[in-house]
A and B are shown apart, each in its own frame.
Chain A
């Protein structure tokens, strides 16, 4: 029996029909969609990782820097970025013509794209927004605890806590995370994100401590823009008057 006859006989016997065209189109779309999502995961993870680095007092010694790079959360983010690119590459290889391109070249293109997009992500404040978005998530508490340890270090010029009351535009009183009260001078301080002190605002400071007075060189919101929430003012702190 000819192969053609036996194949036709089998097709008729099993009432086989070609699988519908939409199934293959859907599969292609899903592969491209997954590729975009994986790249987004990689970009946002890298953007957040860059934010962790840029948000830390790197000039204040290596301790924070190493923590910011090798702490658990940054390592998870870095791992996510690497995994995102790796799976995106695998996914690309499965697209209809993906095998035509060299994996090394495509991999390099993906890495450069993720680095550039991650940098842009951080540069234009999207990482900060993402950081704020996650700030209440349970898996993020580890970062909060770590940040508290790092910033609760007045002898080394780092202090963080919540503003208790404001005494004019250049002085306020705050309670650090250990419950100690401080008078804070911010007349010469750089105010990140145009931050103005309002009661209830969680902040972090770089400067120097003299007894229970802290002279700030720089004042930042605690945990990105999310730190501006929970203040007595409904407006985000970056929008408050100086």
Chain B
């Protein structure tokens, strides 16, 4: 096992090269990305137990394809891409709609405030309402919002992860924000009627 200090000395790309000849170095990369990817696959709609299975597959598949890693890309974009593809393929295989578990509310609250400035939710119901909005959101919109506002990826990285042109990503983010705002307004109206 490579000591943690040794792992810290190397960049992602150096670790990729070292891992090709010595699989022990691969553990450094796995450790470096486990938590970020776990959060990501859960945000895409996996449950916590499923997320571990997906991560196993992601890291194992990435290991087999290490020599195919395009060095012009960021390693993080490449591994996020694999995680995205594995998650989508798992949803397809199990034929279940991804469920949204809100692990952190803040980015969605910010997005809500940003998209619908006048909208106010009862704080007690906020989490439930945002969950409902996210579950109704088209998955292709949800995934760009997750990458943009949770993973804080720029358009170039999102383009590399989803393998779509940057112009398409910008359009998707725009439409996603609009759909998010529309659904949130719908939820707000429901809440008003509920209160009356």
On A, residues with C-beta under 8 Å from B are 2-8, 10-12, 16-21, 23-24, 96-97, 99-103
Residues of A close to B23: CB separation below 8 A: 8, 11-12
- Cα(A8)–Cα(B23), bound, Å: 7
CB pair A3–B56 under 8 Å, yes or no, is yes
Known contacts A99-B164, A102-B165; 7 additional CB pairs below 8 A are A2-B31, A4-B31, A8-B27, A11-B23, A16-B63, A19-B67, A97-B72
Inside 8 A of A12's CB, which chain B residues have their CB?
23
Task: Encode contact with A along B138-166: 1 for CB under 8 Å, 0 otherwise.
Answer: 00000000000000000000010001111
- Inter-chain contact A7/B26, CB cutoff 8 Å: yes
Given that A3-B34, A11-B23, A96-B70 are known contacts, is A16 also in contact with B59, CB under 8 Å in the complex?
A: no
- Please report the C-alpha to C-alpha distance between residue A221 and residue B63 in the assembled complex, in whole angstroms: 63
Q: How far is the CB of A124 from chain B (nearest CB, A)?
A: 36
Interface residues of B in 74-117 (CB under 8 A from A): none
Pull 23 A–B residue pairs with CB atoms less than 8 Å apart, ordered by A.
A2-B31, A3-B34, A3-B55, A4-B34, A4-B59, A5-B27, A7-B27, A7-B56, A10-B60, A12-B23, A16-B63, A18-B20, A18-B63, A18-B65, A18-B66, A19-B64, A21-B68, A24-B67, A24-B68, A96-B70, A99-B163, A100-B165, A102-B167
A99 CB to closest chain B CB (Å) equals 4
Q: Which B residues are CB-close (under 8 A) to A102? A: 165, 167-168
Q: How far is the CA of A86 from the CA of B65 in the complex (A)?
A: 29
- For B67, the chain A residues whose CB sits under 8 A away are 18-21, 23-24
Residues of A within 8 A of B159 (CB): 99-100
Q: Does B128 contact A (CB under 8 A)?
A: no
Contacts of B26 in A (CB 8 A): 7-8, 11
B69's nearest neighbour on chain A, judged by CB, is A24
Least distance between A97 CB and chain B CB atoms (Å):
8
In the complex, A8→B25 CA distance in Å?
A: 10
> Do B166 and A100 have beta carbons less than 8 Å apart?
yes
B24 within 8 A of A: yes
In angstroms, Cα B21 to Cα A18, docked, is 9
Determine how close the nearest CB of chain B comes to the CB of A91; give it in whole angstroms. 15
Question: In the complex, what residues of B have CB within 8 A of residue A16's CB?
Answer: 60, 63-64
Residue among A2, A11, A24, A97 having the largest count of chain B Cβ atoms under 10 Å: A11
How far, in Å, is A12 (CB) from chain B's closest CB? 7
Within 8 Å by CB of A7, from B63, B163, B164, lies B63
B64 touching A10, Cβ below 8 Å: no
Whether A3 and B165, one on each chain, are in contact in the complex, defined by CB atoms closer than 8 angstroms, is no
Nearest 8 interchain pairs by C-beta: A24-B68, A4-B30, A99-B163, A21-B67, A18-B66, A4-B27, A7-B59, A4-B31
Q: In whole angstroms, what is the CA distance A5 to B1 when docked?
A: 9
Report Cα–Cα, A171/B24, bound state, in Å.
89
Q: In the complex, how many angstroms separate the beta carbon of A55 from the nearest chain B beta carbon?
A: 42
A18 to B27 CA separation, bound complex (whole angstroms) = 14
Which A residues touch B20, using CB under 8 A?
18
A-side contacts of B24, CB under 8 Å: 8
Q: Which B residues touch A5, using CB under 8 A?
A: 27
